[in-house]
A and B are shown apart, each in its own frame.
Chain A
Amino acid sequence: MLSKILQERIYSLAILLIVVTIVASVIFPNTFPTFENLSQILLNLSTDTIVAVGMMILLISGVFDLSVGSVVAFAGCLTAYVLHFLNLPVPVAVTIGILASVFIGWINGYLIAYQNINPMIQTLAMLGIVRGLALLASGSAIQNLPYWFNAISQSKLLGVQMPVWYMLLTIILFTFLVNKTIFFRRYYYIGGNEKAADLSGIRVKKMKVIAFMLSAGLAGVAGVLLSSRLGAALPTMGRGLELRVITAAILGGASLSGGSGKIPGALLGALFMALIANIMVISRVSGYWQEIILGIILIGTLWADKVLQKRFSKI
């Protein structure tokens, strides 16, 4: 039983999260386990998690996308541009922002799947291009966005800000889709053995393009939500987000070689990193140390996971 739990990353990670939460609640009884703080943690990780869901699907199929951070900025800035300078209604602007992101995903996917361009180089190049486009759209930043646009993220439900609900919705929806539909299960086969998947009748190239479009689309959604939450579109949004998101997905059980990973893992991985970051803010660990400590904890966690798996698989 124990070995079974340790074999599956989402369970072992969930246990770790519970332990960390309990320990933090004991050490900081006044500041950590408050509704305010916990809902804040969830709000802060909502952008990363929504992007991580798309990244998880890409990682399951054995590829990844480094341009998602830029797409977050681009989608937010383009939407704001359309709202602010073209004065189009909010739903139209949001649709334009997300569709443009999906289009970027299509370019990535098409060039990678059909023209065999290395995914790392392709998406790295796209990272620069899209960041540039975001700058073009927004200049330094676009402020004073319409009320109804800001309401998308700034409204509250049951006292919790909306992005948290969107994030949970995304997680639930994609957990269902990936577990229960043949369409999404194909990505496990593609990541497991691309050539065998092709010979088994799965249209691998098409599926890959769709995965890139989906991932970029989710990054676009995250970008719209983030700029709505900030009430402004900044071209510097989502800097370094791609690596955070890949880290979260891998913590959550994905592997760079493909074929493994579960959607809730994206949330758990992001939650773990956000919890550690929050505890460091609460305990006032200075900014210089935060990255170092986070890095050490990440390596330590993955290492401990490997050691425990080895030990318990023998029993």
Chain B
Amino acid sequence: MKHLQLNHISKTFPGVKALSDVTLSIHAGEIHALCGENGAGKSTLMNILAGNLQPDEGTIVLDQLTQIIRSPQNAFALGISIVYQHLSLIDSLNVAENVFANDHPVNKFGIIQFGKLYEKTSLLLQRLKLDQITPNTLVSSLSPAQKQMVEIAKALSQKPAILILDEPTASLTDKETRTLFEILQKLKKEGVAIIYISHRLDELFILADCISILKDGKYQGTFLKQNLTKASLIKLMVGREINSLKSESYRQIEILLSVKNLSGQKFHNVSFNLHRGEILGLSGLVGAGRTEIARAIFGADKIESGDVVLNNVVLNTNHPFDTISKGMAYVPEERKSLGLFSEMSVQDNITVTHNNLTSHIYNATEAAQRSVELKDKLKIATTNVQQKVVNLSGGNQQKVVLAKWLLTNPEVFIVDEPTHGIDVGAKFEIYELLKSLASQGKGIIMISSDMPELLGLCDRILVIKKGTLAGELSSAEATEEKLLTLSTY
């Protein structure tokens, strides 16, 4: 039986106090949820437990013994396993090799026993009900959800006494989420201590026994689930009440963008109009072709046939530069790999597109001035605009991407999963921003898998299924059931 106790943990990064005086107690056989906005210090805490970071102050006590976790190997040895939010799998290897990455079964000569490796992996996969995957499937051929499950299998392969999960359901389907919850309940009965980090508050109330809250690196307390409501939890996390979504339409009659019989590699014959001031939702399952349609409109992917008409002019594009200069903006789903220059400053990130369009000589003073304006306007939390983007939290990074496009003053915004993996506070700020853009007569195409978000924000919702337009619902008639029905049947 394990009992993990964190005493007065503090950690400071240059310019940021990531954790201050955090004390937590986690018992065996308990699912302990940890929540807080992005940047609240959850990841730092987790990295300390994983041995990736050392606390500046405080102690970690495991079964009455004070431990210093020097490295990830050290953490494994102490029975701590972690499922990371950002996948740690190696694409070019198969499932079994990934699951037992550091721990291949070997014979006494140190030669890998592949038979045993595959057998052990396949047992684990069965336990996770992953029937479609075999141990020798290449990881690169898996869907994001399947990868996440493999990641979980990897953690379980260590037979951990303490299991930490960071946003495990962010890319999982409902069915997979249910399987995961069953497994976690079973592990809990076996006496495993589970730390569960998530933004999805609904999940926490289903799964957790108790909930601890961090805000700005400070511990806000641990509560039994029964003593909390969603509203009170949000208040603890954000420190303020959040206005619920209320939709007010700014839709005008004038058509801004018109997509006519557009076909590409993964979609066929898609036609729709976007009005000025309209927020148009694109709903559908992951892989239905929504992102591909968006990229094609933006000029990032090849169009096989069909036209994109902006302001009654047919666009002839072979590169995003053409659409950008005509007034389009695209916020990609994969923020880190497609949207940001992580090692560059906030200023460089914000000004990249604007500069690319306008002038030949770089004016550092002007760039700094504009960046500071936008930083203040969007409340980007950073000490100064010379800070590298990689040091910002997810929500602030997304604001940086949005700021970049605000600077070019486009007419059409295409936003792809704009609030994916972002904390509640920043989410609402982004909603407000999108609404204010609509009120200025901009057109917004929003791709999202978060149905409440679509229903709350959009004037109309298009449903994409297998690369074709499966239906259109106005905000009045749309419900979660209807959207789901259209996208699956």
Contact = CB atoms under 8 A, between A and B. Distances in A.
Contact of B356 (A179, A195, A202): A202
Contacts of B338: 193, 195-196, 199
Interface stretch (B23-31, B210-218, B339-347): B339-347
A181 B341 CA distance: 19
Given A192-B344, A196-B337, 17 more contacts: A179-B362, A182-B359, A183-B360, A186-B356, A188-B341, A188-B344, A189-B348, A192-B343, A196-B339, A199-B332, A201-B320, A201-B324, A201-B325, A201-B356, A202-B321, A203-B319, A260-B343
B263 to A, nearest CB: 22
Interface string B295-335: 00010100000000000000000011100110000101000
B110 interface: no
B1 interface: no
B357 interface: yes
Nearest to A206: B319
B362 A189 contact: no
A186 B355 CA distance: 10
Contacts of B337: 193, 195-196
A180 to B, nearest CB: 5
Interface string B346-378: 001000110111011110000000000000000
B355 A182 contact: yes
A198 B322 CA distance: 12
B361 A189 contact: no
A199 B339 CA distance: 8
User: By CB atoms of chain A within 10 A, which of B332, B353, B355, B359 has the most?
Assistant: B355
A200 B361 contact: no
B330 A199 contact: yes
A293 B14 CA distance: 37
B342 A192 contact: yes
B442 interface: no
13 contacts: A181-B361, A182-B359, A182-B361, A183-B360, A189-B348, A193-B340, A195-B338, A198-B300, A199-B339, A201-B321, A201-B356, A202-B356, A260-B343
A313 interface: yes
Contact of A182 (B319, B332, B356, B404): B356
Contacts of B339: 196, 199
B404 A200 contact: yes
A199 B320 contact: yes
Contacts of A239: none
A259 interface: yes
Interface of A: 179-183, 185-186, 188-189, 192-193, 195-203, 259-260, 313
Contacts of A200: 320, 324, 352-353, 356, 404
B383 to A, nearest CB: 15
A110 B355 CA distance: 26
A259 B340 CA distance: 13
Nearest to A260: B343
Interface residues of B, number: 29
Given A199-B332, A200-B353, A313-B14, A193 B342 contact: yes
Contact of A189 (B298, B321, B330, B352): B352
Contacts of A181: 360-362
A180 B362 contact: yes
A59 to B, nearest CB: 14
B300 A196 contact: no
Contacts of B321: 201-203
Contacts of B356: 182, 186, 200-202
B167 to A, nearest CB: 23
A198 B344 CA distance: 16
Contact of A180 (B324, B341, B357, B361): B361
A270 B404 CA distance: 38
Sorted nearest first, the 7 A-B pairs with minimum C-beta distance are A192-B341, A201-B324, A201-B321, A200-B353, A200-B352, A182-B355, A193-B341
B483 to A, nearest CB: 28
Contacts of B360: 181-183
B88 to A, nearest CB: 19
B341 A182 contact: no
Given A183-B360, A185-B362, A198 B320 contact: yes
Interface string B96-109: 00000000000000
A196 B400 CA distance: 13
A188 B348 contact: yes
User: By CB atoms of chain A within 10 A, which of B324, B356, B359, B404 has the most?
Assistant: B356
A313 B356 CA distance: 33
Nearest to B300: A199
A260 B320 CA distance: 25
A86 to B, nearest CB: 39
B404 to A, nearest CB: 7
Contacts of A199: 298, 300, 320, 330, 332, 338-339
Nearest to A193: B341
Contacts of A182: 355-356, 359-362
Contact of B340 (A188, A196, A313): A196
Nearest to A195: B338
Contacts of A193: 337-338, 340-342
Contacts of A260: 343
Contacts of A197: 341, 352
A181 B355 CA distance: 10
User: By CB atoms of chain B within 10 A, which of A185, A189, A193, A199 has the most?
Assistant: A199
Contacts of A202: 321, 352, 356
Contacts of A195: 337-338
A75 B321 CA distance: 36
Nearest to B14: A313
User: By CB atoms of chain A within 10 A, which of B319, B340, B404 has the most?
Assistant: B319
Contacts of B340: 193, 196
B341 A189 contact: yes
A188 B351 CA distance: 13
Contacts of B342: 192-193
B203 to A, nearest CB: 31
A185 B300 contact: no
A226 to B, nearest CB: 33
Contacts of A189: 341, 344, 348, 352
User: By CB atoms of chain B within 10 A, which of A192, A196, A197, A313 has the most?
Assistant: A196
A259 B361 CA distance: 20
Contacts of B14: 313
A291 B403 CA distance: 51
